[in-house]
Amino acid sequence: MNKSDLDAERNEQILRGKRIKFIRENELHMNKTQLAKEIGISSQFLGLVEEGRGNLVYRSIKKLRDISGHSADYILYGLDDNIINKTKELLTKYSEEEIEKVIDIIHDITIFIKN
């Protein structure tokens, strides 16, 4: 890894920690000890994660996802949950066959645009 890749990864880790802290404080209204217990880690390690100096393992991310209602994509990368939830809601109105047809159309459009 070069320096810019390491810097980008470090910045992503810091932002992830800030998101987790925001979720804990502003949405779950928990202290570190409470959330740490719920996701199976120590409060000290949760503090490191929130400071951007540690990463959660899959099991802890999954538990945080279940507790918070946020997607793993939001927790890890900051991707908008609302888009995912709106898409899921819209897709429930269509059959699998209809969705597959639309995906094929979108695929054809992307090929057309690229050419």
Residue 15 tokens read as 């932002």
- Model pLDDT for residues 60-112, shown as the tens digit of each residue: 999 999 999 999 999 999 988 788 778 888 899 999 999 999 999 999 999 99
Instruction: Select 1-79's CATH number: 1.20.210.10, 3.10.20.310, 1.10.260.40, 1.10.3210.10.
Output: 1.10.260.40
pLDDT at 106: 93
Dist. CA 82–CA 107, nearest whole Å: 24
> How many Cβ atoms are within 10 Å of 38's Cβ, its own excluded?
17
Kindly indicate the confidence band of residue 39, based on its pLDDT and cuts at 50, 70 and 90. very high
In this prediction, residues 45-67 reach a mean pLDDT of 97
